[in-house]
Amino acid sequence: MSEEVLQITDLYVSYGGIEAVRGINFNVRAGEIVTLIGANGAGKSSTLRAISGLVKPAGGNVTFEGEDITGKDPTMIVSKGLMMVPEGRRIFPNLTVLENLKIGAYLRNDDLEKDIETVYGYFPRLKERSWQEGGTLSGGEQQMLAVGRALMGKPKLLMMDEPSLGLAPIVVQGIFEIIRRIHEAGTTVLLIEQNANMALHVADRAYVIENGKIAIEGTGRELLENEKVRAAYLGSAGK
Amino acid sequence: MKKDRNFLPSLIGIILLLLFVVLLENISALIPGLPQIFQPTSPLFTVLKKAAVYSLVAVSMNLLNGFTGLFSLGQAGFMLLGAYTYAILTVPSAQKEQVYYLFGGCAFDSSIVDIFGNVFGTSGVGGAVSMVLGCLIAIVAAGCVAGFFAYLIGIPVLRLKSDYLAIATLGFAEILRAIFQWQKLGPVTNGANMIKGFPTFSDFNITDGAGNVLVRLSTFVPFLISSICIMLIVLLIHSSYGRAFKSIRDDEIAAEAMGISLFKHKMMSFVISSFFAGVGGALFAMYVANAQAKAFTSVMTYEILLIVVIGGIGSVSGSVLATFLYVACSEWWLRFLDSELYIGGFKVPLLRNGFRMVVFSVVIMVIVLFFSQGIMGNRELDILSLIKRKAAAKPAEKKEERK
């Protein structure tokens, strides 16, 4: 087996006494797509926010490439190569598309031209709109921009929080196609999704989170065939 | 790439503007018999000087409020720091005794101008060099003091959000005003009395031995300093730091997720904005020829905030345009409303002392109601692209004519 990039041990996150994450354990190995699926409020986003340093975990450890990054500054965590595509896209509406992309590479000092071209290669639509303000883009284009922005940071591990949220099915398919291509280009991906069907089809391994704990784990294929998962997350079990 | 394309023409534009100001100032001496408006005593020059000073403060406030999204109301406080620093450092030692007569002289007995005077001499070219150098250093020091206090106050205050930050900075400015009027600090701040006698804008006029003005530079100097400072701010806004400021304004959480340290960048913006507010304060002291804590009330901050809102939050050229319009209205164009007017035997109603402010308030309300984005929104005045657009529009018109 290839080495573990991200190792989460016994992670707790609480907001003013309310425990959102209660002792989660999982890991991501180099070159994988790992997905966390679960219902609203299961603790998926809180887990991600704790990994990226936006909230301080109440307990447990986050290890990235063998280094303990629990509760460290987001700046430091990003500089290690852990980039996040935040939930709800959160692009910068008053900055142009190009400026948005450059912000993604804020901590880098090297030449950006090549990477901007790479991102435009993934998303030709962004190139057409490079001088447009982010807020004038459609929802799907904004999601492309959010992914492109994160890619500009040359992440070793790309974390995506519900990239399919609020998008039309055809657009979601496009986004997942891009995720697959990014993965093929060598980036490890941690994907958080409510759209379990799509997520499990692209994922190497998957974890189901319920009430702040890991309920089920396995490969994407295993979970697709798992009765409980099918009943709870994939809708019609007889499909 | 875009920046490079626009930078040189902007620079040329500013140099042309500065030359135009020098010409305007001296035109009454070159061509005798011009109307009153071109005379040095005309309100035109008062407005130009005050607007040059205010536009720098407005742009510095816009850097903070418009580009970084920090709603701070401390600008008058930082101007006060700048004004006092400049005044204390430049009052000639010969005059200190007289200015600080209540406190038996100033704690800082010399002045930077005098120190340079010892090196370069006090009269002729040497005197001019020592005054310019001394004033320049005092102005930079004014900015540095304001920036330093901004750093100190920023440590606790910048963790606050939106309205709370506004209240805290407003309170800071008010406390500062009270402290500077404190009698115990008299040997430094001259207590509640004003400090005067330091070099002002009119001291930059080039005179002959008898004191006759040869070349007038008193409007040019504030224009020069303001435009240099505003250019520096514009360069900052276009740099990657400026981009980070704007990203914080747009979405703090996303900016943080991109690895931008919120506190560090907010502090940077706060200190830089306060630095230029301090420089603006020094210029303001030069404009009114005295430094007095009483002048730097929160009303002054509101005035500047109003200018920023009218000009468009997030637009440097908007702030500058709005400053000139605002100052011209308040100091000049609406003055006639304050004097009683008789047409034949008929006295025009309402026109009397103070009516100007009523009309002024209505004008401002109309602007805020109908141009809620301000004059410029968050766009910039770009003369080059305006010309290009016109040039592009002309062939299009011709095509339509053919049809």
- For the CA atoms of chain A, what is the radius of gyration? 17
Residue B6 is predicted with a pLDDT of: 66
Task: Please provide the DSSP assignment of A120-152 as one string.
Answer: HHH-HHHHHTTTSBGGGS-HHHHHHHHHHHHHT
For the record, the structure tokens of B70 come out as 């920090």
Question: Which one is predicted more confidently, B128 or A97?
Answer: A97
What distance in Å separates the CA atoms of residue B263 and residue B257, rounded to the nearest whole number? Answer: 14
Query: Which of A62-66, B209-213, B337-341 has the largest mean confidence?
Result: A62-66
Residue B185 is predicted with a pLDDT of: 85
Residue B3 is predicted with a pLDDT of: 47
B339 located within any domain = no
User: What are the residue boundaries of the structural domains of chain A, listed by start?
Assistant: 32-52+72-233
B347 located within any domain = no
SS3 B179: helix
A104 Cβ under 8 Å from any chain B Cβ: yes
DSSP state, B345?
A: T
Residue A37's alpha-carbon distances to A150, A168, A178, B92, B104, in angstroms, are 21, 19, 19, 74, 77
Residue B193 is predicted with a pLDDT of: 87
Which stretches of chain A are DSSP H helices? Answer: 44-51, 74-79, 97-104, 113-122, 124-128, 139-151, 169-184, 196-202, 220-225, 227-233
Contact B249 A94 (CB under 8 A): yes
- With vertex at residue A129, the alpha carbon angle to CA A186 and CA A81, rounded to the nearest 5 degrees, is 30
What distance in Å separates the CA atoms of residue A199 and residue A192, rounded to the nearest whole number? Answer: 8
DSSP state, B341?
A: -
Q: Which long-range contacts (CB under 8 A, 24 or more apart) does B181-185 make?
A: B181/B293, B181/B294
Distance from the Cα of A22 to chain B's closest Cα (Å) equals 23
A48, A55, A90, A156: best mutation site toward chain B, by most B Cβ within 10 Å? Answer: A90
pLDDT in tens, chain A (239 residues): 468 899 999 999 998 888 899 999 999 999 999 999 988 888 898 999 999 999 999 999 999 998 999 989 999 999 999 999 998 889 999 999 999 999 999 998 888 889 999 999 999 999 999 999 999 999 899 999 999 999 999 999 999 999 988 888 898 998 999 999 999 998 999 999 888 888 998 999 999 999 989 999 999 888 888 888 888 887 754 44
What distance in Å separates the CA atoms of residue B330 and residue B359, rounded to the nearest whole number? Answer: 10
Distance from the Cα of B376 to chain A's closest Cα (Å) equals 15
Residue B106 is predicted with a pLDDT of: 79
Question: Which one is predicted more confidently, B396 or B187?
Answer: B187
Q: What is the pLDDT of residues A31-47, one digit of tens each?
A: 999 999 988 888 898 99
Q: What is the pLDDT of residues B55-74, one digit of tens each?
A: 999 999 999 999 999 999 99
Residue B190 is predicted with a pLDDT of: 87
DSSP state, A42?
A: S
Please tell me the CATH code under which domain A32-52+72-233 is placed.
3.40.50.300
b (16+ CB within 10 A) / e for A37-59: bbeeebbbbbbbbbbbbbbebbe
Q: Which amino acid is residue B305, in one-letter code?
A: L
A52 Cβ under 8 Å from any chain B Cβ: yes
For the record, the structure tokens of A86 come out as 């935040």
Task: Answer whether residue B155 shows pLDDT above 80.
Answer: yes
What distance in Å separates the CA atoms of residue A202 and residue A193, rounded to the nearest whole number? Answer: 11
Residue A236 is predicted with a pLDDT of: 54
Q: How many CB atoms lie within 10 A of CB B397?
A: 8
Task: Answer whether residue B2 shows pLDDT above 50.
Answer: no
Q: Which of B4-8, B118-122, B227-231, B244-248 has the lowest mean pLDDT?
A: B4-8
Residue B394 is predicted with a pLDDT of: 58
- Which residue has 């206090």 as its token pair? B149
Nearest to B240 among A77, A78, A106 (CB): A106
What distance in Å separates the CA atoms of residue A172 and residue A176, rounded to the nearest whole number? Answer: 6
Contact A79 B259 (CB under 8 A): yes
Task: Answer whether residue B395 shows pLDDT above 80.
Answer: no
Contact B243 A103 (CB under 8 A): yes
Q: Which positions 216-245 of B are in contact with A (Cβ < 8 Å)?
A: 240, 243-244
Strands B346-347 and B342-343: antiparallel
- Which residue has 């004033």 as its token pair? B135
Domain hosting B232: range is 2-333+373-402
Residue A82's alpha-carbon distances to A78, A102, B277, in angstroms, are 5, 17, 39
Return the closest-CA partner of residue B367 out of A238, B359, A30: B359
Helix count and strand count (H, E) for chain B: 16, 6
B345 located within any domain = no
Task: Answer whether residue B161 shows pLDDT above 70.
Answer: yes
Task: Answer whether residue B96 shows pLDDT above 90.
Answer: no
What is the number of alpha carbons within 13 Å of residue A102 lying toward its C-beta?
Answer: 20
Number of domains in chain B: 1
Mean pLDDT, residues B256-277 taken together: 95
Mean pLDDT, residues B18-22 taken together: 91
B249 Cβ under 8 Å from any chain A Cβ: yes
Contact A91 B254 (CB under 8 A): yes
Q: What is the pLDDT of residues B21-59, one digit of tens each?
A: 988 888 888 888 788 888 888 889 999 999 999 999 999
Q: Which residue of A has its CA nearest to B67?
A: A94
Contact B250 A93 (CB under 8 A): yes
SS3 A82: strand
B260 Cβ under 8 Å from any chain A Cβ: yes
What distance in Å separates the CA atoms of residue B258 and residue A41, rounded to the nearest whole number? Answer: 24
B341 located within any domain = no
B152 located within any domain = yes
Residue B116 is predicted with a pLDDT of: 86
What distance in Å separates the CA atoms of residue B130 and residue B115, rounded to the nearest whole number? Answer: 8
Residue B403 is predicted with a pLDDT of: 43
Indicate the pLDDT class of residue B383, thresholds 50, 70 and 90: low
Question: How many CB pairs below 8 Å do chains A and B form together?
Answer: 66
